[in-house]
Structure 1
Amino acid sequence: MTDDDVKAMAAAAEAHAREHHWNVTIAIVDDGGHLLHLHRLEGAGASTAEMATGKARTAVLGRRETKVYEDTIKQGRTAFLSAPLTAMLEGGVPIFVGADIVGAVGVSGVKSEQDAQIARAGIAALGIENV
């Protein structure tokens, strides 16, 4: 991902959040889980910065949306709680270019499905089919 890609995703995610009046934190990480962008919108809780970053890292290192982990745990597989991932709640979405993972977006601050919606809006700014 280029700097311009990160800026475009951040702007699109923030615009989506503001459009819905959602006070969130948006984190973007590279393919190694290293933080490239973190913005806590006015009114977002202090803990959302850690959670958004954790969701992004979990999504990129696990190569799947964090919702997968949340659903697995909800279905009774509580052993996943001991996995070395930090945020297994919906709101972390990996970024794929073809079969290659290039990063992830994590969002925290509203309902989990809304966090994921914001993350996907950011990724959509790249104009790629993210699978």
Structure 2
Amino acid sequence: MSLTLDEARAVSDRVREHALGLGAAVTIAIVDDGGHLQVLDRMDGASPMSARVAPAKASSVALFRRDSTDLMHLQEAYPAVFAQIIDAARTPIVAGGAARLIWRDGAVVGAIAIAGGSLEQDDTCADVGVGSLPSAA
């Protein structure tokens, strides 16, 4: 089962609220378990590039079934293989911070990525997003 659109919107709303409290202007991207974009929420003042980076990061972690840290380690360990995967995937693959899988009952149901704030703000917002669903684990 994938993340529903209503759930994705609720997660985005919670992250937006948290980012406002931090004084951060971020872009929130939430994808389903197949990496397909469900919500793209670019806050006023968030960098224009963040609206391209966040969805690519979210889709990447969903497709690889690895959080951003694991995906970055994979890219560092096997750069040539990673480059071939990117070419074969025919979709942007971005191994960057603040991207997390969303789990329910032991299965990946989606992913979230944040871009536009500081690294710490983006990471905190991603954690808030993952933790905002009652049944997410």
User: Is the TM value for this pair above 0.5?
Assistant: yes
Partner of 2:37: 35
Distance 1:31 1:91 in 2: 17
Instruction: Provide closer, same or farther for how the CA distance between residues 7 and 129 of structure 1 changes in structure 2, counting only shifts above 3 A.
Output: closer
In the superposition, the TM-score normalised over structure 2's length comes to 0.83
Distance 1:18 1:54 in 2: 23
| Code of the aligned partner of 1:27 | A
Partner of 1:86: 93
116, 122, 126: which one aligns with 2:129? 122
Give structure 2 stretches of 5+ with no counterpart.
87-91
Does structure 1 retain, via aligned residues, the 8 Å contact 2:100–2:111? yes
Partner of 2:24: 22
Structure 1 position 125, deviation (Å): 1.5
C-alpha RMSD of the superposition: 1.9
Once the two structures are superposed, what CA deviation does each residue of 1:13-62 show, in whole Å capped at 9, x if it has no partner?
11111110111100000111111100111111111011000110011111
Give structure 1 stretches of 5+ with no counterpart.
none
Instruction: Provide closer, same or farther for how the CA distance between residues 80 and 91 of structure 1 changes in structure 2, counting only shifts above 3 A.
Output: farther
Identity %: 31
3-state SS in 2 of match to 1:32: coil
Structure 1 position 69, deviation (Å): 2.4
